[in-house]
Amino acid sequence: MTILLQNVKLNNQTTDILISDNIFKKISPNQPTTADTVIDCNNFAILPAFYNTHSHAPMSIFRGISDDKNLFDWLNNDIWPREAKLTPEMVYTATKFSILEMIKTGTVFFSDMYFFSEAILQAVSDMGIRAAVSFCSCDLFDKQKLQTEIKKTEQFLNTPNPAPELIKKVLSVHAIYTASDDLFRYNAKLAEELNTNLHIHACETQKEVDDCISKYNHTPIQHLDYLGTLSDKTTLAHSVWLNDTDINILADKKTWLCTNPTSNLKLASGIFMLNKLLDKGCRITLGTDSMASNNSLSMLSEMKICALLAKIAANDPTAGSAQTIFEIATRNGAQAFGLNAGHITEGALADCILVDLNNHLLAPEYNLISNIVYAADSSCIDTVICNGKILMQNHHIPGEEKIIEDIKKLSNFFR
Ligand SMILES: [Zn+2]
């Protein structure tokens, strides 16, 4: 299967790009038009697609159901009681809806933590994007539940992977305030044995840090380090409340910090110190968190908020440049999960978006990356390609009408 992107703008030059199977095979002008599919890219620019490294895809069913609350009130009173009513079928429907929004906004990969993860695997496979899927373990410090969580993790790992080329099975633990030391140790050891990624919420709120210090006499990062969970395959979502010792540990371990700026602002959790962390050598990716706390899965709006917040955090308008944020949302996210992607180069995985240069939000054309980070919305994205396959063309995803109808029907259950 080959696709020729003819006369496409790449880094301000017009060229042709041949995609063969799942990689960018050849980038040069005037290639023969013998490909299986030829796309006329006049007025299109090609860019890397986005890699969303923290999400809870099934929570799209809760978009707009509870807003404007603090994290613990929101979780305890509005989210967890409703999550208890979810079924695998609901998780499948809601995940497909989330993926629809991701594709519409140019995302081709997400790293997810949730339960009924077998249903998530199927939804990802059916939609054709990439994902790192995990069973989110959380024992609430209960010895019996610890054993159940271990069993559920094993069950998930033993479930056949419906799309091994696209899906990586990874591990996750909810957070230091919901999981015992034994559960963290089990996951850390397993991640090492399986050479896979480990995904944890950490240092999201000041309360989490204060409670951890009262309980363990050190910070969440120091505790996670003590439990052996920090490595270059660990992603810590949020990472808002960090002291200098924490930052040094994280830089030293090459741990990935996934910032979730919209969720942090909406829940008033705090401000991620992007510039300081970059200066100290930390590795950073970008994620949306869920549709219940964001309430969008658009990496376009996430990039803008991330850039703006970085400036306020550093009290410096040069912090969080459009180029820096764009790389965090593309190349870094792919790298964190071992993908040779997030850049348009020969030999890289063929993941990309085609943006419409006739869209008013991308004019004038002084600086495309600036326009993408600070001005663009989903209307700018015409085509999305993942692993050499077209997922959206001319703004349309096959079957999208049914996916929207299904989530609306399902929402009647939670009213
Ligand atoms: Zn989260």
Q: Domain extents for the chain?
A: 2-48+349-400, 50-336
Q: How far is the CA of 112 from the centre of ligand 1 (A)?
A: 9
CATH topology of domain 2-48+349-400: Urease, subunit C; domain 1 (2.30.40)
Domain 50-336 has CATH 3.20.20.140: yes
Q: How far is the CA of 175 from the centre of ligand 1 (A)?
A: 9
Q: How far is the CA of 236 from the centre of ligand 1 (A)?
A: 10
Q: Give me the residues paired with residue 201 across strands.
A: 175, 237
Q: How far is the CA of 38 from the centre of ligand 1 (A)?
A: 40
Q: How far is the CA of 44 from the centre of ligand 1 (A)?
A: 34
pLDDT at residue 72 in the model:
86
pLDDT at residue 373 in the model:
98
Q: How far is the CA of 19 from the centre of ligand 1 (A)?
A: 35
Matching residue, tokens 């459009």: 322
| Inter-helix orientation angle 181-194/143-158, to 10° | 20
Q: How far is the CA of 292 from the centre of ligand 1 (A)?
A: 10
Q: How far is the CA of 200 from the centre of ligand 1 (A)?
A: 9
Of 130, 142, 50, 31, the C-alpha closest to 381 is 50
Q: How far is the CA of 201 from the centre of ligand 1 (A)?
A: 6
pLDDT in tens, 320-342: 999 999 999 999 999 999 999 99
pLDDT in tens, 223-257: 999 999 999 999 999 999 999 999 999 999 999 99
Cβ neighbours for 168, distance < 8 A, ≥ 6 positions apart = 131, 132, 133, 196, 197, 337, 338
pLDDT-derived band at 394, boundaries 50, 70, 90: very high
Q: How far is the CA of 23 from the centre of ligand 1 (A)?
A: 31
Across 57-71, average pLDDT: 94
pLDDT at residue 289 in the model:
97
Q: How far is the CA of 348 from the centre of ligand 1 (A)?
A: 29
Q: How far is the CA of 54 from the centre of ligand 1 (A)?
A: 6
pLDDT-derived band at 407, boundaries 50, 70, 90: very high
Q: How far is the CA of 26 from the centre of ligand 1 (A)?
A: 39
| Strand 381-386 versus strand 389-392 pairing type | antiparallel
Q: How far is the CA of 161 from the centre of ligand 1 (A)?
A: 24
Q: How far is the CA of 56 from the centre of ligand 1 (A)?
A: 6
pLDDT at residue 70 in the model:
85
Least confident of 60-74, 153-167, 321-335, 400-414: 60-74
Q: How far is the CA of 276 from the centre of ligand 1 (A)?
A: 23
Q: Do the beta carbons of residue 400 and residue 365 sit within 8 Å?
A: no
